[in-house]
Structure 1
Amino acid sequence: MGRAKIPMEPITNPRKRKTTFNSRNNGMIKKARELATLCDVKVSMIIFTEDQETPQIFPPGDHDKLIRSIDVYSRTRRTNPESIKCYTLSDYYADRKMKVEEELVKEKKKNLEAKFPSWFGFLDSFSEAGLREFAVGLENKIVDV
């Protein structure tokens, strides 16, 4: 049995909102740590809340890493903005739509080939000379008809 879907709207109950924030925040930090460790990539996060005077930073205690990451991002953005990929929800849906359309085209092609076969398996074993001889035979039959 799965979990119930949570509607994507702000939580009005402050206590429930704080609890949800803490659990999801911990989950995000855990995922960032796993991503950095398993894939050997640099991951930085800044988390702002109205309750905190200073933002929460990942990796914790290493402000220099965060500043270096921001500098690399800024430099890359200025020199080569096309190289930075921002993957948005619309990008996700566009990719998903493209995959579904490709799958649909493959299935339509498979159905068409099943309905109207265009190649006979026995032709695979023919040599070039054999195929030419077969073509001449077909032409003769067309002429006879």
Structure 2
Amino acid sequence: MVRGKIEMKRIENVTSRQVTFSKRRNGLLKKAYELSVLCDAEVAVIIFSQKGRIHEFSSTDMQQTLKRYHKHAKAVQTNTFEVEQYMQQLMHESAKMAKQIEILEASQRRLLGHDLDSCSAQELNQISDQLERSLRNVRERKAHVFMEQIQQLKAKGRLLLEENAKLHIECCARPLQQHLVEEKGGGGADAFYNRMNSSQSSSSQTISNSDQLETRLFIGPPVMRCE
């Protein structure tokens, strides 16, 4: 026979209520004992009947269990109090930070030229001085950045000039090396330099012979001269 679901409400019949109390009390104490044995747990159960009678079960000494419970409850209350204080402190700091943010936003709007109607002459002078200081700092930073860029460009220009000089030297040296390689079959570098010297000597001799030619000035029709 399947047991029906019992509705959770107070039993109005006194006799039935007393019977149910006795059965469920014994079952509860039995379950507490089984829990302490199976799970090696410290279990304590205290039951007061409707007439004020006490029924209890403890896997160890009841007084020690109660002391342990009170100590734990006190620690929990202390932790709860500390948590509440910490939460109140966070809320206070959050409100203070929100107020500071509001002040900063108002100051920023005034620096941008908005909401100036409520400002006094002194506040307007302070805003003007602050803007001038900010502008001066921006200009100084701008000049510093420009100087750094100029120095970087100068250094880059020097590197390019050095590289250009190296390339110029390499380009001038390559034709001479190529000519020496071509003359390798005709005696190498020595033969090339000897031919260069002989060529220069021939040129000098030709120039000296031309200097020894006799030059005379004749007036009249050309005539044949015999040496």
TM-score with structure 2 setting the length: 0.32
**With CA pairs under 8 Å and 6+ residues apart, which has the higher RCO, 1 or 2?**
1
Q: Taking structure 1 as the reference length, what is the TM-score of the superposition?
A: 0.48
**Would you tell me which structure has more helix in proportion to its own residues?**
2
